[in-house]
Each structure stands twice: as C-alpha cells, then as structure tokens.
Amino acid sequence: MRQVSVSGIRMIEASNEIVLLLSDERRQLPIWIGSPEAAAIALSQQGYVPSRPLTHDLLLNVLEALGAPCERVEVTSLVDGVFYADLVLASGQRVACRPSDAVAIALRAKAPILVADEVLDAAAVVEAPSEDEVDVDAFRAFLDEVSPEDFGQA
C-alpha cells in the first residue's frame, strides 16, 4: 500500500464526467466519480463546515459515537474497471465502500488514504515532469559535447 493525496477533481468537458485524481510522488490515479461525491470532496478540501451534517459528516459522526473512528481508507482493488475501497476503523473492522465515499470520509477524518500497489501499477499514470524538473541547460550542454562515436556508431 502507498499513501496518496487528493491532487484534484477534474471535469472532462467532452463527456461531462468527473475524475478524482489521487497522487503519490510520481503517479496520478484517475477514478471516475459522481457529482455528489465530487461536491463532498471539494467542500471538504475547501474547509467548508456545514451548519448541519451532510451525509459523509453524519457517517463520520456515527462511527465516532460508536467508538470506531475511521483510522484510514484503502483503495484495495480494481476489477473490470471498477475500483473498490474499504474504510478501516480503529477497531480493525473494515467496511466496504466506493473510493469516492472513502476519500470524502478520509478528508473529514483527516485520515490517510492508501492505494494498493497493484491498483497503482494497473491504473496510475506517470506524471510528466514539470518545467522546473527538466534541466534544459544541462541537456543542451550534453548535446554540444556528444558525438556519434559515443553511441558506438560512426
């Protein structure tokens, strides 16, 4: 399992689909989600505290009242294009849920979000390096000094 963070929510304009992006140090995992879950995640990211509990707040309150707060969430598998997740409670119990609901709850609980290595390997995309990470001057200097012989061909 690898810990990830929510790097954003994006709408694909052509299809009006919403994608949740989870990121580790070098990869992004896109998970398609519904509008209500996207709103719940975005509200939590913005620090919005409703005057009355919304659904994810209510579930978190119930778990805490029962003495089983959310310890972490895990995106556990990907089967036929469908992601699966679990809430892992402090009691050790696991509750199956959709990744979008798990993330909405994790953000409210300030709990870590973990993704199975197999899921990342199967569905994550490698982030392109930012311009800051690409040393253009060093590459140009290399090109100025390299010759065909350096590659074993003349």
Give residue limits of the domains in the chain. 2-128
**Which residues 6+ apart lie within 8 Å of 110 measured at CB?**
none
What's the pTM? 0.79
Distance (Å, whole) CA 89 – CA 71: 5
Identify the weakest region by mean pLDDT among 61-65, 92-96, 97-101, 140-144: 140-144
Asked if 4 contacts 113 with a C-beta cutoff of 8 angstroms, the reply is yes
Report pLDDT digits (tens) over 111-128: 999 999 999 999 999 876
Residue 147 confidence (pLDDT) above 90:
no
3-state secondary structure labels for all residues of 113-147: EEECHHHHHHHCEECCCCHHHCCHHHHHHHHHHCC
Q: What angle do CA 48, 51, 55 make, to 5 degrees?
A: 75
Please tell me the CATH code under which domain 2-128 is placed: 3.10.690.10
